Copies of this chain bind each other. A is one copy, B any other.
Amino acid sequence: MKCRVCRGAALIDLRRHNANFCADHFVRFVQSQVGKAIHEFKMFDPEAKILVAVSGGKDSLAIWHILNELGYDADGLYIGLGITDYSDTSAVFARDFAVAHSLNLVEVDLDDTYGFNVPQGARAAKRVPCSACGMSKRHIFDRVALDGGYDVLVTGHNLDDEAAVLFGNTMHWQTDYLARQHPVLEAREGFPRKVKPLIRLDEREMAAYCVVVGIDYMLDECPMAAGNTHLRYKDALNLIESGSPGTKAAFVQKFLAQAAPIFADAAQESGVELAPCEHCGALTPSGLCAFCRLTARATGQPVELVPNPRLTS
């Protein structure tokens, strides 16, 4: 097995690209795929001030590493979610990476700042943990990005993540979600621009990248996500991918090129006016935003006593 570029001994075979690479050329391949995605979807300019949402896992540490290697100015944001040992360990990976690469890591602890953690929030709101977790992360992402003056929030969603979300939206033909699914979510008043530069790279490629460049990352999956439908969608996609390499990437890319514009054209303007949350100021359709309602329920406090910090000021 020889490297496609230098004919040296190859380290990895990428079946959907029908290519093998040595360690050096694999690293360049991955970085060039990120560069292509940034360019193709006009994600951000070379001078952009970037905030990377960092979980301590392979994808978010890798994209932070790659953006740094490509010369971008990118800080990290780690959110302590209070998911027992899983959160404690993942924080260590995020901090160690930041120190080793002399990068700036913003940290927000959900419990310290708002008085509850994800398991408590899920129980109080009678929601599945992934719902309370996603809501909390989005709220803090938005707040830190806006308060910190960042131009764009980068998340480490890879091709498998995007394919699985697309798959779920497609299995239920959620045409409104399909109209909005895109690797770039434009900034709107009260919401930062959000982009996914790993959309051209899959999980195995990201794990291999971390191994090759020496990134230590949290191997465990979140214990609260086990058995969720999202993971089953990934299994179904992997079953198809194993028989026809490239199907997963084509599913996402052809969606973006051929189907997404059709859904976007058909989407009704929701007509919902957003107004500032009466408590925290985040834009929301109703009086209180979903996160402040969650916080009140999880802490058992009246809403007016819910913490409302300026996170990065």
Query: Measuring CB to CB, which residues of chain A are less than 8 angstroms from any residue of chain B?
Result: 170-173, 175, 229, 232-233, 235-237, 239-240, 243-244, 247, 250-251, 254-255, 257-259, 262-263, 265-266
Give 29 CB contacts A-B under 8 Å. A170-B170, A171-B240, A171-B247, A171-B250, A171-B251, A172-B250, A172-B251, A172-B254, A173-B251, A173-B254, A173-B255, A173-B258, A173-B259, A175-B258, A175-B259, A175-B262, A229-B240, A229-B243, A229-B244, A232-B239, A232-B240, A233-B240, A236-B237, A236-B239, A236-B240, A239-B239, A262-B263, A262-B266, A266-B266
Q: Which residues of B contact A263 (CB under 8 A)?
A: 262
CB distance from A284 to the nearest CB of B (A): 27
CB distance from A144 to the nearest CB of B (A): 35
Could you tell me the distance between the alpha carbons of A175 and B244 in the complex, rounded to whole angstroms?
A: 20
Q: Which residues of B contact A175 (CB under 8 A)?
A: 258-259, 262
**Can you name 8 extra interface pairs (CB under 8 A) apart from A171-B251, A236-B237?**
A173-B257, A175-B258, A175-B262, A232-B240, A236-B239, A236-B240, A265-B266, A266-B266
CB distance from A195 to the nearest CB of B (A): 22
Could you tell me the distance between the alpha carbons of A172 and B251 in the complex, rounded to whole angstroms?
A: 6
CB distance from A293 to the nearest CB of B (A): 28
CB distance from A215 to the nearest CB of B (A): 32
Could you tell me the distance between the alpha carbons of A243 and B170 in the complex, rounded to whole angstroms?
A: 17
CB distance from A180 to the nearest CB of B (A): 14
Could you tell me the distance between the alpha carbons of A306 and B156 in the complex, rounded to whole angstroms?
A: 60
Which residue of the partner chain B has the closest CB to A267?
B262
Could you tell me the distance between the alpha carbons of A262 and B258 in the complex, rounded to whole angstroms?
A: 13
CB distance from A168 to the nearest CB of B (A): 10
Could you tell me the distance between the alpha carbons of A112 and B126 in the complex, rounded to whole angstroms?
A: 67
Could you tell me the distance between the alpha carbons of A300 and B171 in the complex, rounded to whole angstroms?
A: 46
Q: Which residues of B contact A255 (CB under 8 A)?
A: 173
Which residue of the partner chain B has the closest CB to A244?
B229
Could you tell me the distance between the alpha carbons of A304 and B296 in the complex, rounded to whole angstroms?
A: 82
Could you tell me the distance between the alpha carbons of A250 and B174 in the complex, rounded to whole angstroms?
A: 11
Which residue of the partner chain B has the closest CB to A263?
B262
Q: Which residues of B contact A266 (CB under 8 A)?
A: 262, 265-266
Q: Which residues of B contact A236 (CB under 8 A)?
A: 236-237, 239-240
